A and B are shown apart, each in its own frame.
Chain A
Amino acid sequence: MATTERRPLSLEIPTATENALGQGQTWEGSLADLKGLVSERALTGETMLLNLGPHHPSTHGVLRLLLELDGEEIVTCLPDVGFLHTGIEKNIESKPYEKALTLTDRMDYLAPMSNNMVFSMAVEKLAGIDVPERAQVIRVICLEMTRLNSHLVWLGTHALDLGAMSVFLYCFRERERLLEMFEMLGGQRMMTSYIRPGGLWRDLPEQFLPALESFLSYFPSKVDDYEKLLTNNPLWRDRTEGIGVVEPELAISLGLSGPTLRASGVNYDVRKAMPYTGYENYDFDVPLGEHGDVYDRFYIRILEMRESVRIIRQAIKRLPGASGSFRTENRKFAPPPRAELGRSMEAVIHHFKLWTEGFAAPDEEVFAAIESPRGEITCYLHGTGGNKPRRVHFKTPSFIHISALARMAPGYMIADLVAIVGSIDCVLGDSDR
């Protein structure tokens, strides 16, 4: 019985009557541990070691930064992640493919449909499932709405960190309309699990498109409002221009992607380079920066919000002409509709197999990549030949970007560090999985 055995714990959780450090815990980190990681001046005490701990007043989640400070200036920055490591990849190994999809929602929780999308793409590639055109168009709409959603939260929290509090409230007001639409689609505001291998969970409800069109009619003016507050604001420009500069070659070597990479001038967007789910049919621009600083990353995301509106409008126009239904007709992978169960024996058998076992995928490995709002998220999926995967590994952009902080932060002040951490748009669920 799993409950009576001790699970491998490294730290004993203290009981209430002891003090917070309790028994069995060794918080004796000595300076010698940090020998290769911080500069020599820290070991002599000339510079100060500051722990910007996992709980800090910045809404980016549980990120711990060990800073070596010379006065206010940062000499070394050591990020420490893992405070939100959930073992999602290992949990997925014990679930059939469709059930595992619900776990992927919760990795990058600001853009749940992107995670669903990359996992679904990998499963479709592995098992050889086709996706009809209508499902592809609706997927584009969902992904771009997710991008808007994520960028709104990013803008709100980034501005809040740098002191512009009203932008936070404005962005969340817009976000409520988007969440209402997600609720119409998937029944849930955030973790909809709407994009599934083979297509979508269900077709668009009838009140969705009017709501979406009314949202799109006023949203660009809201983006103008945010720009009026921030883009040419001298305080904002002072705090963000010239901060956290990354050269293009260093950016490629560090593995950056998404707006963080494009700010440095590297023109790589997975939607344009290796289009998926029909992105080659849409006409949109990819904003590119020049300086590689925090301001460029901010401005690129604002422009991306406008491009997303453009893409959604084109997708809505394509929708009536798209052939096919919302999910693949291949009954080996997608369950038959309930009406068919009364008429066809094969439908009952397929339904039974899918609900008890799930579908099987070959013992091979595949790789799928999409452009999430944060960057390039990739999924490496290795099947077993049975109904559960052998291994799934996500390379998430936040993991790489937080590791790049160690190269971006030194030389700037602590107040600039807040701007840099906000601009790389890290989400700790995405980083730690």
Chain B
Amino acid sequence: MGVISSKLGDLGVVTTTLDTAVNWARTGAMWPLLFGLACCAIEMMSTQASEYDLSRFGMELNRASPRQSDLIIVAGRVTRKMAPVIRQLYDQMAAPRYVLSMGDCASCGGVYNNYAIVQGVDEIIPVDVYVAGCPPRPEQLIHGILTLHERVRGERLKNWVVEGAR
């Protein structure tokens, strides 16, 4: 409160860098895609429910359509049959888009080292944050999301504008 009143002064104007403002907006309400595959999805649902409330981070709204979401939490094991579907969903998401690979199966194939499971969803889509666990506790997932927020706060607009959308 003190910061804001000292910044507001008499005019009601706050100065900050554009990067900070844009990244603050992005992290404030990052809408995840409603994408739960297996057991990790149940822990993700637990994280969004009452006790470990994800809506304090602005994420209570799961969008069903990939065009309207910013974040895809790949929660669960990715099979070879499902892989093209994930790729299609990722391609449909608009930049800036982030990927959080939740659980061991999505990060590295997990317990299943066999013909049917893609050994890590990063073989298909580029991942920003990996959260380990089988399934990860809600606190672990929240830590992963906050790590992602840190990363987003470190992004610079000039990188985004010059190199093109990621």
A and B touch in the complex (CB under 8 A): yes
Give complex CA distance A19, B134 in Å.
33
Per-residue CB proximity of A165-177 to B under 8 Å, as 1/0?
Answer: 0001110110110
Whether A83 contacts B82 by the Cβ 8 Å rule is: yes
Interface string of A8-19 (1 = CB under 8 A from B): 111101101001
Task: State which of B21-29, B83-91, B152-160 sits at the interface with chain A.
Answer: B83-91
When the two chains form the complex, which single residue of A7, A20, A25, A82 contacts B91, counting CB atoms closer than 8 Å?
A20
* A103 interfacial by beta-carbon distance below 8 Å: yes
Cβ contacts under 8 Å, A55 to chain B? 35, 85, 89
A191 & B80 in contact (Cβ 8 Å cutoff):
no
Q: Is the CB of A90 within 8 A of B114?
A: yes
Q: Report which of A9, A175, A428 forms a contact with B46, defined as CB distance below 8 A.
A: A175
Does chain B have a CB within 8 A of A411?
Answer: no
Of residues 40 through 77 on chain A, the ones whose CB sits less than 8 Å from some CB of chain B are 53-57, 59, 61-62
Cβ-defined contact, A91 with B83, below 8 A: no
Q: How far is it, in angstroms, between the C-alpha of A78 and the C-alpha of B41 when the chains are bound? A: 25
B34 to chain A, nearest CB (A): 5
Cβ of A414 < 8 Å from any Cβ of B? Answer: no
B41: chain A residues within 8 A (beta carbon): 59, 61
Shortest CB-to-CB span from B165 to chain A, Å, is 12
Interface contact A11-B115, CB-CB below 8 Å: no
Q: Tell me if A59 and B36 are in contact (CB < 8 A).
A: yes
A21, A85, A90: residue with the most chain B Cβ atoms closer than 10 Å: A85
Q: Which residues of A have CB within 8 Å of B80?
A: 9-11
For residue A16, which residues in chain B have a CB less than 8 angstroms away from its CB? Answer: 126
Whether, in the assembled complex, A327 has its beta carbon less than 8 Å from a beta carbon of chain B, the answer is: no
CB distance from B153 to the nearest CB of A (A): 25
A109 at the interface (CB under 8 A from B): yes
A169-B117 CB under 8 A given contacts A11-B84, A13-B124: no
CB pair B64 A106 closer than 8 Å:
no
Q: How far is the CB of B113 from chain A (nearest CB, A)?
A: 8
Chain B residues with CB below 8 A from A110, complex form: 42
Q: Please determine whether B91 and A106 come into contact, CB atoms closer than 8 angstroms.
A: no
A84 contacts the other chain (CB 8 A): yes
**Chain B neighbourhood of A170, CB < 8 A:** 50
Asked if A366 CB lies within 8 Å of chain B CBs, one says no
- Give the complex CA separation of A10 and B76 in angstroms: 22
CB 8 Å contact bits of B119-148 with A (1 = contact, 0 = none)? 000011010000000110100000000000
Name the A residues within 8 Å of B84 (CB-CB). Answer: 11, 13-14, 20, 25
Residues 34-71 of B, flagged 1 when their CB comes within 8 A of A and 0 if not, give: 11111101110110011100000000001010000000
Q: Shortest beta-carbon distance, A423 to chain B, in Å?
A: 19
Identity of the chain B residue whose Cβ is nearest the Cβ of A428 in the assembled complex: B38
Chain A contacts for B89, CB-based, 8 A: 55
Interchain CB contact under 8 A, A87 and B117 = yes
Judged by a CB distance under 8 angstroms, whether A429 is at the interface is yes
Interface size class of A (residues with CB under 8 A): 35 or more
A142 at the interface (CB under 8 A from B): no
Q: Is the beta-carbon distance between B42 and A87 smaller than 8 angstroms?
A: no
Asked whether A87 and B112 contact (CB < 8 A) given A13-B84, A14-B87, the answer is yes
In the complex, the answer to whether B82 meets A106 with C-beta atoms within 8 Å is no
CB neighbours of B42 from chain A (8 A)? 109-110, 153, 190
Q: Are B111 and A20 closer than 8 Å at their CB atoms?
A: no
Is B79 among interface residues, defined by CB-CB distance under 8 A?
yes
Asked if A102 is an interface residue, CB under 8 A from chain B, the answer is: yes
The docked-state distance in angstroms from the alpha carbon of A93 to that of B62 is 39
Distance, CA A54 to CA B126, complexed state (A): 21
Min C-beta distance of A53 to chain B, whole Å: 7
**Do the beta carbons of A87 and B115 come within 8 Å of each other?**
yes
Q: Cβ of B85 and Cβ of A176 under 8 Å apart? A: no
Query: Which of chain A's residues have a CB closer than 8 A to the CB of B37?
Result: 61-62, 84
Alpha-carbon distance between A184 and B62 when the two chains are bound, in angstroms = 32
The docked-state distance in angstroms from the alpha carbon of A53 to that of B88 is 12
Tell me, yes or no, whether A86 is within 8 Å of chain B by CB.
Answer: yes
> Which one of B85, B111, B135, B137 lies within 8 Å of A83 (CB-CB)?
B85
Closest to A54 in B: B85
Contacting A at CB under 8 A, from B82-110, are 82-85, 87-89, 91-92
**A190 pairs with B43, CB closer than 8 A:** yes
Interface flag for A189 (CB, 8 Å) = yes
**Is the pair A106, B39 in contact by a Cβ cutoff of 8 Å?**
yes
The minimal Cβ–Cβ distance linking A167 to chain B, given in whole angstroms, is: 11
Least CB distance, B52 to chain A, in whole angstroms: 8
Residues of chain A within 8 A of B87, CB atoms compared: 13-14, 20, 22
Closest chain A residue to B114, Cβ basis: A87
10 contacts between A and B (CB under 8 A): A7-B115, A14-B87, A53-B85, A59-B41, A85-B116, A86-B116, A91-B112, A169-B49, A173-B49, A190-B39
